[in-house]
Structure formats: C-alpha cells, structure tokens
Amino acid sequence: MPVISATREPLCSVSLLTWCPVLKVHSQASGHNPSSAPLRRSQSSTPKVKKSVSSRIHEAVKAIALCHNVTPVYEARAGVTGETEFAEADQDFSDENRTYQASSPDEVALVRWTESVGLTLVSRDLASMQLKTPSGQVLTYCILQMFPFTSESKRMGIIVRDESTAEITFYMKGADVAMSTIVQYNDWLEEECGNMAREGLRTLVVAKRTLTEEQYQDFESRYSQAKLSIHDRTLKVAAVVESLEREMELLCLTGVEDQLQADVRPTLEMLRNAGIKIWMLTGDKLETATCIAKSSHLVSRTQDIHIFRPVTNRGEAHLELNAFRRKHDCALVISGDSLEVCLRYYEHELVELACQCPAVVCCRCSPTQKAHIVTLLRQHTRKRTCAIGDGGNDVSMIQAADCGIGIEGKEGKQASLAADFSITQFRHIGRLLMVHGRNSYKRSAALGQFVMHRGLIISTMQAVFSSVFYFASVPLYQGFLMVGYATIYTMFPVFSLVLDQDVKPEMAILYPELYKDLTKGRSLSFKTFLIWVLISIYQGGILMYGALVLFEAEFVHVVAISFTALILTELLMVALTVRTWHWLMVVAEFLSLGCYVASLAFLNEYFGIGRVSFGAFLDVAFITTVTFLWKVSAITVVSCLPLYVLKYLKRKLSPPSYSKLSS
C-alpha cells in the first residue's frame, strides 16, 4: 500500500500569481462601512497614512525580493582556469550568467518573479544583499537577523537595514494559518487564500514591521541572551522572536503553481490498475490538495469526496466517523489536525475505514505525521508500504516505509539520498514497480527455493544412505565432490534464474493487472516451501534408492550412478523452472555439465566409499558402458518426469495470468 507524497515540480516565475491588497483596500474604503468592522481593527492608536497604489505594490515587491534564502550564483567565464584568489575576477556578473540557489524552488520562483518586474537580486552573502532597480541603481541592505523556515512555525523572517536610509524593517512570510493571527485585521486574506488554493496554488502571506533603532537594540539584547540560555533555549528564543510578530502590516499574498511532471496521470492510473492503494500526504491547504488530487486524477472529478470536517475533541471525531462510515466508494480528504484527534481516540476504526477508500488525501501534514501514518498502515494492514517523496520533509516518511523512493528534482537530493531507490521522474515509478519490482520478486522467489532444493536433495540422499546402512557415520560423497556440487557443478544454472522473466517488460507495463498476482504471495509462501520440500525428499529418495537397487557387484558404482543422476536432475530442474530462455542460461547449463564430465578424468578416486579402508576407485571403463548410461538415465527420468507431467497438467487446467500474454 504505497504512500505517495510530493510528486509535483514547481514552475518558474511564469506561473507565479501575486495578489496585492491594494485593490481590496480600495474597494473597502469606497463601499464598506468602517463602523461595522470589529473593534480589533481600531486598536492601533497611531494614525494610519493612506498609501498610494504604486507605493503598496513597491513595498510588496521589495518584501518578496528581500525575505528569502536565495543566493545568486555566477558561473566562471568560459576558458578561464584561474586560481582561487582570481575566482571573483574570472566571474561573469551579467544577467544571462546568473542562476539562483535555494532550499525551496518556490523561493527561486518568487525571486525570479521580482526580477521579471524590475527588482533583481544581484548578490548576497551572510551579512548583506544587493538589489538592482530598473534604472540601474543598486540598493544595499544589511542582514541583521535571519529566522529560517521550520515545519513547526510554518514561516520565516528576516530583519534588514537599508544602507541608504538606515531604516530597519522586519519582513516575514509564511502559511496563512500561521500568519493570520500575526498580521493586522483584514477582510480579504482568508477569501483570497481559498480562491488561490482552489486553483491549485501554494500560497504565502507576506508582511512587514518597521522597527526603530531602540526597538531593534532591545530585541537584539534579549535575543542574544535567549540564545545563551542553558535551559529551554529553544522556547526562550521562540518567545523573543514572537515578541516582534505582533500587528504586522499585511503586504501581499503570493501563489505559486506546482505543475505536474510528465505522465503523472497515466502512472497513477497504472498503479491503481495494479491493485496498489495510493495515499497523498502533503503539507498544502485542503483546497490546494484537493485540486492537485483531481488534476492528477488521483481522485476522479465525478467521484464522491468526503471532506473530513475539523474536529477538536472525541465527540466531534465520533460524529464525523459515523458520517464517513455511511458513505461508500468515496475518496477521503482529511487535515493533519483532524487526523491527529481521530487517531488518538479511534485509531483502528479510522485506519480500517480509510483503507477501504479508493484514494486518501491527507493535507496539512507535518513530516512527523507522515512517518506516523506510514507506520500505522504497516501495523494495521500487515502489508508492504512504499513511500515516495522529493523533499526534505519526506525523509522521515521514506525511512519509515518498507521501501523508500526518492525523486531527485528541484526540491534537492535529501529524499533521494535517504531512500532505497532514487529516480529523476515520477513516471519512472511505473517501470520500477511493474517491471523491475515484479521480476525481482519472482526471481528472488525462484532462486531462494532452488538454493533450498539444492541443499535438501543431497541431505535426503545422505539420510537415506545412512538409514539403509544402520546409520553408519560414513559420508556418501567425499571431499571435492561436495565442494564441486555446491560451486561449479550447479551454481551457474541455479543463479542464472535471475535472468528469467515470464513476460516482456513492455507487456508488464501495458498490463499492470499482472502485478496483482504478487499481492497474493503465491510465488513465495508456506505452500511453495512445503511443495519444494516434498520435491526434494522425493527426488533425493528416488536417486538414492534407484542407485542402490540398480548397482551390480561393486558397491562403488552407487556413488558414480547417484552423483551423476544428481547433477543431471539439478540441471533438468533448472530447465523445468525457466520460462524464457536467455543465452547465458544455455551457456550455464552446458558449462556445468562440461565441468562435471571433465572432472571425471582426474577426480575418479573421490567416487569411492571410504577409499582408505575399502581401496575403492572409479572404474573408468564402467562409466563409458551402456549399462551405466541407461541406469543413470532411468533414475533421472523417474525423478524428473512426474514433475514435468504435473507442471504440464497444472498449466493446462489452471494456467497463470501471464500465459495468455506469453503465448
């Protein structure tokens, strides 16, 4: 039951939408009665100066250009191989040679958008950054403090000082959930966030606060003291930062479109046809997650969707679960907060109902919640989980799953480095599971069973030999025969089974329903284990008893006949199992048989039973006679022919699903 998250690739600035509140402010001033607004709006005692449209837009663009962690990078000039001290002189600072690096592609998209409207980030270091205006003027800002984004706070901030005016400004941007309580009262933020989310855009709220020199010095002293604390340092630092996050001026709301990668829709359709349950775990808003689930066809546009209402206590969770239980064949959309409450009181009921849904979308999930959901699915369903992600917030989920797949893209390499498999496109998951995963499972099952069969059959022969001769502690095969049986005589054919395949890769991708057979576990189970145990006991008994019955006057012929029949039986069993022959399989079969025949010339003394006490040696003339050949052939046919007949009858009466395609 794979858990899939973060399968989208952000676009550049061309798909960026920015909403400036000036239009809302204008309409509010002309058509809304100020007296009807809540009292919170008039709490500020300082008189507000009405800003013009151009000044508001300028402030919004400047805030987006300053509040980020993006660094511009310039490549060295072509053909220059200078030393380290000449690296700066060798760089080309033209606009065409500039690229941006950041931990999030959304940050790069926002900076590229500000560049497209005329405010360009030209340089940045730990202490300052420079912006270039359309007129060519360079604005320098000193970075006083930097508060990086975290999954807990859901926002980031920066304090900068304008070198030209010495003005200190605190800029902050983050999710609307975190920023709605920080910014000053407004009547349009929630509505516009919902509108953008329904279009599938990832929204960020941008705000600012102007600080005086005294206010900043007071904050810096308290902030430095909090960072030097020994006990509860994190809480104290957060409390000092939160003292700045009060009544901030709302500047704008940005929306970045996350474009689906190529072939995401057919890949998800392929996974569903293969019997794989798909859950989407994301940190986006509910409306954004629902829009993306529909655009990727994870949820059909005509399919019923049950949106789990926000719940805060046990009673609300019980009522919502009852409402959800009455619906059938509908997709579930639930937020992380509601999921946390339901799992606290009704963990088993929720997981049982959710697993029956055709698709599940969990929005507003933290990295810890993603890993917790994967762990719950493993515990409750007892099935294998596969977590797929492309960002650093998916690492915990990937490591919690049975199989982790990391997508190496614009989000960075954190997910791919922490995963079991790394791919570059989401569409590659189809081939990874339908072809490589399916073949790996079937080949591993065949190889494991054959290794067991190879060891158990010779153990059965030794047991039969010892029981016939009153459990004498005499080995059936001496020295190098045992080593050769485990290596050059049988190793190459057995391990060549890793090249076997039942259908071609194109057929496995075209018919993903073949993958459903793997979920039944019929290729490797207790039933197949017992079948191979019975086969090994049957063949070991036939080989040993046949050699004892057919030997003539000299007992040493038992070893020659039984060991030769054993090698031939093992080679024929490999041929019986192979479904599609590979040229290396044929080479392995004849190479092993040739090595055995060649070794008879210089290993004849090993075919005796207790050669020191009995003085028995292999009679070369005997193995070239017709008697030896027909006895070995008879024993081999009796041990293998019934299995061939049973396999033929089973294939005719109950053919496997792939037989129709292979024929």
160-169 residue pLDDT tens: 999 989 899 9
Burial 134-153 (b: 16+ CB within 10 A, else e): eeeeebebebbeebebeeeb
Least confident of 187-196, 545-554, 643-652: 545-554
- Counting residues of the chain whose pLDDT is more than 70, the rounded percentage is 84
Over residues 448-464, the mean pLDDT reads 89
418, containing H or E segment = helix 414-418
Following DSSP, what letter does each residue of 149-166 receive, concatenated?
--TTT-EEEEEEEETTT-
Task: With H, G, I as helix, E, B as strand and everything else as coil, classify residue 334.
Answer: strand
Vertex 537: Cα angle to 533 and 538 (nearest 5): 115
Whole-angstrom Cα distance, residue 437 to residue 630? 44
Q: What is the pLDDT of residue 218?
A: 92
Q: Has residue 371 got a pLDDT over 80?
A: yes
What is the 8-class DSSP label of residue 412? B
pLDDT tens-digit map of 415-435: 888 899 999 889 999 999 999
Task: Read off the tokens for 294.
Answer: 């529909």
Cβ-based neighbour number of residue 391 at 10 Å? 21
Cβ pair 223, 240 in contact under 8 A: yes
> How far is CA 132 from its chain centroid?
41
Q: What is the pLDDT of residue 77?
A: 59
Cβ pair 284, 256 in contact under 8 A: no
Candidates 71, 257, 254; CA nearest to 173 is 254
What is the spatial order of strands in the sheet that 421-423 belongs to?
Answer: 305-307, 331-335, 359-363, 278-281, 3-4, 386-389, 403-407, 421-423
Cβ pair 130, 124 in contact under 8 A: yes
Over residues 350-375, the mean pLDDT reads 89
| pTM metric for this prediction | 0.72
Cβ pair 182, 245 in contact under 8 A: yes
Q: Has residue 225 got a pLDDT over 70?
A: yes
pLDDT category, 7, cuts 50, 70, 90?
very low
Number of alpha helices (DSSP H) and beta strands (DSSP E) in the chain: 28, 19
pLDDT category, 78, cuts 50, 70, 90?
low
Whole-angstrom Cα distance, residue 175 to residue 144? 23
Over residues 499-510, the mean pLDDT reads 86
Residue 238's contacts (CB-CB under 8 Å, 6 or more residues apart) are 153
- What are the φ and ψ backbone dihedral angles of 531, each rounded to 5 degrees? -60, -45
Strands 249-260 and 201-211, bridge-based pairing: antiparallel
Q: What is the pLDDT of residue 661?
A: 67
pLDDT category, 62, cuts 50, 70, 90?
very high
Vertex 158: Cα angle to 154 and 159 (nearest 5): 145
Whole-angstrom Cα distance, residue 435 to residue 509? 7
Candidates 568, 617, 623, 607; CA nearest to 476 is 607
Long-range pairs of 115-123 with CB within 8 A, sequence gap ≥ 24: 115/13, 116/13, 117/61, 118/61, 119/61, 119/62, 119/65, 120/95, 121/65, 121/70, 121/72, 122/72, 122/93, 122/98, 123/72
Burial 645-656 (b: 16+ CB within 10 A, else e): eeeeeeeeeeee
Q: Mean pLDDT of all residues in the chain? A: 80
Q: Has residue 39 got a pLDDT over 50?
A: no
pLDDT category, 619, cuts 50, 70, 90?
low
* One-letter identity of residue 241: V
pLDDT category, 30, cuts 50, 70, 90?
very low
- Counting residues of the chain whose pLDDT is more than 90, the rounded percentage is 17
